[in-house]
Each structure stands twice: as C-alpha cells, then as structure tokens.
Amino acid sequence: MIFELLISFPFEQFYILLIYLFYLLIFILFLNIIEYSNKLPIFYQRVLFFILLSFIIFFYFVSFCPTVYCEGIEDPFSRVKQYSDLSSLNTQNMIKETYSGVSGIYIFQCFETGGIYIGSSINLYDRFYTHLKDISSNVHLQNAAAKYGWDSFIFRVIETCTPTELIAREQFNLDILFNNFSKALIYNFCVIAYSTLGYVHTTEAKAAIGVANSGRTRTTEARAAISTSIIGNTNAPRVPVFIYDLSNKLVGEYLSQRKAAKHLNVSHITVQRYIDTGKILQGKFILRSSPLS
C-alpha cells in the first residue's frame, strides 16, 4: 500500500511547489533588505543596490532563459530504446540482437555538449556499426566522437517503421532538430531527408529544397512537395551529392550538383561526369549520388 502511494505521489509537482515557495522567501528577504538599506549611508545603499541588481540578473538567466535540449523532460524526441557505454562489447551485442534487420530512425547525442545527429536506416544495427567504426559516417559526428569519445554519446532509437516510411519519419524528426537546436549542436549537414534506397527528387521538390536551403522557413506545400518527390519516384535526375575521401570517409553532403560544384570549384558538368565515371576528382575526392551502403 505504501509502495503504491509512493509511486503515485506527484513528486514533480511537489518539487515545483517548493521552488515557488523558495522564490517567495527570496522576495520577502529582498523587501526586508530594502527597508533596512534606508538606514544606511548613501554609498552603502548604492553598493547594496548593485549587489541586489546583480543577483536579480543572475537569477533571471538561470531561471528563465531557454536551455539547450538534452536528455530530460525538455527532450523533444521520442524514445523506443536508448544505449550508453557505446564502446562496450556488451552494449554493441545488445544493439545487434535487438535491431539487426530492423528499420527506423536513430539519434547519436553527445551528453558533453548536447550535439545531435539524426539518421535513418533499413538496418539500425548495421548503421550503428558503420558510424562506430567510421565507415561511411558523418564527419561532424566523427570529429565529436574523436574529441569526447564514444562513451560520451548515447545511441537512441526514436522510432521504428517500415522502409517505405523512413524518409517521411526522418524528415519529421529533422524538422524538430533544425527548428529547436542551435546550428552548433547539429551534426547533420542537410535539412532534407534523403533515401539510402535510391529515391530521388522531382523538379517541384528541387524548388522546395532550394527554398529550404536558402534559410527561409519551409511551407506546408514545400514539405509536401519534398515528401511526394521522395516516395516512389525514379524518373527525375538525382539531386544529392556525397563526397568521400580515398578512405571512404564522408567529408561533405550537398543537396544539388551545383552546390557541390561551387564547394569544389568546378562546374556542375564536371561533378556529374565524376559521379558517372567513378573517377577520383582532384586526386582526393570520390563523388556519389547516394550514400555508401
């Protein structure tokens, strides 16, 4: 009986109530200090005023300024299963047993900084493994892993779905990521989800992607155009460009051949030619129209 009462007790609401009572006591204390300060010389009144002002400013920033989304009640992402201690073989085996052959959306998050990478895969364990071993991974994620170590990250499956739903669900979560996190905390290069199964975009979706990439807010129509273009379309020319170094490490992702060409200081025709031929560009880059599997 006592155990059931403890479980049902609203500890979080009680904690909030205690915080407000503490704020009330601080306010009463301030009133008393102000009343006492009238009896002090002008110089000491001014010193006391600046001390109180500094405390109020500090209190404001600590209590009311928005915090970075990390693990906790403000986390905007769902959680099916979460793993820490990623360098442990026991953890890796648990992920292998649970998510081999399972498709879904996943997150890597650094709990040292709050930085996040979101991805999707038709085989969550295989994708986890390729990131962990730096095989066709994300360069921002790898840089953070090299700096803080994989044990400073969590791997979270935020939802499982069928392969045909991957793009729509990844885009849903990317929208949350880019709308709620500062750019410094986002490891993803692209705001648009792309398929590892070879899906490509229509002309209408290209226009929507152009709007998104220019930094303007995407409309519902733009999102719909992107989603429509991804699912079941095989006739439109490919848009994404993935740049790898000679060790097959991903060093850049671009939404179009022209954007990749601008970065590489070549023409978009050259980008297309090197994608088609598979030759090495500038002696150090391999260009692909889809991620390495």
Superfamily of domain covering 81-188: GIY-YIG endonuclease (3.40.1440.10)
Band of residue 207 on the pLDDT scale cut at 50, 70, 90: low
Q: What is the pLDDT of residue 253?
A: 79
Q: What is the pLDDT of residue 224?
A: 54
Q: pLDDT digits over 134-172, tens only?
A: 877 888 899 999 999 999 999 999 999 998 888 889 999
Look at residue 196 and tell me whether its pLDDT is greater than 80: no
58, HSE (Cβ side, Cα atoms, 13 Å) = 6
Residues 174/188, Cβ–Cβ less than 8 Å: yes
Average pLDDT, the chain: 75
Q: What is the pLDDT of residue 212?
A: 47
User: Average of pLDDT values for 235-257?
Assistant: 74
Every domain of the chain and the residues it spans? 12-64, 81-188, 241-288
Which one has a higher pLDDT value, 57 or 244?
A: 244
Rounded CA separation 275/269 (Å): 10
Look at residue 105 and tell me whether its pLDDT is greater than 50: yes
Band of residue 194 on the pLDDT scale cut at 50, 70, 90: low
Q: What is the pLDDT of residue 203?
A: 52
Q: What is the pTM (predicted TM-score) of this model?
A: 0.48
Q: pLDDT digits over 110-121, tens only?
A: 988 889 999 999
Look at residue 266 and tell me whether its pLDDT is greater than 70: yes
Which one has a higher pLDDT value, 248 or 46?
A: 248
Residue 138: closest CA among 116, 156, 123: 116
